[in-house]
Amino acid sequence: MALGDYRRKRDFEVTPEPKGSKRAGSGQLSFVVQKHQASRLHYDFRLEWRGVLLSWAVPKGPSLDPKVKRLAMQVEDHPVEYGSFEGVIPEGEYGGGTVMVWDRGTWEPEVDDVDAALKKGELKFTLHGKKLRGSWVLVRTARGWLLIKHRDQYASSEDVLEQSRSAVSKRLLADIARENGGDVEKAAKGDAAPKR
Ligand code: MN
């Protein structure tokens, strides 16, 4: 796991995204879900592991309903500092658009060997976030990974995506775009995305 792919895709003279250098200092593992209005709205689900953020793009976003399986396409590892990035990636750059820290917190593996679980394609873990809590699983299939909520006290049929504000700033995507010179109209489409 390294940041070569991440850095190759970005021009750090242009984008405000972090280049990545620091390693995580605390013993706890962080997770973040970034709501990203790029060419298409999606949610980037990231788990800190071995000094980087393992990353999956979840087009429909996470669901608290254990019956719902959400496709999660694994993308390049991101720097741990990326978990604090909320702002605007300039149009024309990789992932151009507005990024919100939709949820963040810590995570714990529910398995003894995370590397073996990732290799096998089934990682069970617990999230301690503001919006996402309790037990989850990522399962690899032929089409990509699936992100699924386990049955527990945090499972729900409520649509958690209706909680559309930043976990760190309470802003909407349109607010973030406005304050960072982004495309406010495009960002507002993400705020008004149809409920699924
Ligand atoms: Mn993204």
Closest by CA to 89, choosing from 32, 6, 5, 3, is: 6
Residue 60 lies in a domain: yes
Q: Which of 13-17, 56-60, 102-106, 147-151 has the lowest mean pLDDT?
A: 13-17
Q: What is the pLDDT of residues 74-85, one digit of tens each?
A: 999 999 999 999
- Taking a 5 Å cut-off on Cβ, the residues next to ion ligand 1 are 36, 44
DSSP conformational letter for 158: S
DSSP assigned state of 192? T
Decide if 196 is inside a domain.
no
Q: Which residues pair with 135 in a beta bridge?
A: 126
Q: Which of 49, 65, 59 is nearest to 148 (CA)?
A: 65
Residue 80 placed within a domain: yes
Average pLDDT over residues 171-186: 97
pLDDT at 107 over 90: yes
- Say which residue the tokens 């013993």 belong to: 27
CA 99 to CA 34: how far, in whole Å?
6
Residue 2: the pLDDT is 78
Q: From the CA atom positions of the chain, what is the Rg in Å? A: 16
Q: What spacing in Å lies between the alpha carbon of 38 and ligand 1's midpoint?
A: 7
Tokens linked to 187: 């960002």
Q: What are phi and psi of 160, to 5 degrees?
A: -65, -20
Between CA 195 and CA 174 the distance in angstroms is 18
The answer to whether residue 132 sits within a structural domain is yes
Q: What angle do CA 86, 87, 92 make, to 5 degrees?
A: 130
Instruction: Evaluate whether residue 194 is within a structural domain.
Output: no
Q: What's the CA-to-centroid distance between 109 and ligand 1, angstroms?
A: 24
Centre of ligand 1 to C-alpha 178, Å, is 19
Q: Is residue 133 part of a domain?
A: yes
Domain containing residue 159: 4-11+28-184
Please state the domain count of the chain. 1
Q: Residues 78-106: what's their mean pLDDT?
A: 96
Answer whether 47's CB lies under 8 Å from 29's CB: yes
Tokens of 24: 């995580």
Cα gap 151→186, rounded to integer Å: 36
- pLDDT tens digit sequence for 115-169: 999 999 999 999 999 999 999 999 999 999 999 999 999 999 999 999 999 999 9
Whether 111 has a pLDDT exceeding 60, the answer reads yes
42 Cα–ligand 1 center, Å: 6
Give the tokens for residue 172: 């909407």
Res 196 pLDDT > 60:
no
pLDDT tens track for 4-52: 899 999 999 899 998 887 655 557 999 999 999 999 999 999 999 999 9
| pLDDT at residue 22, rounded to an integer | 61
Taking the CB of residue 39, how many other CB atoms lie within 10 A of it?
10
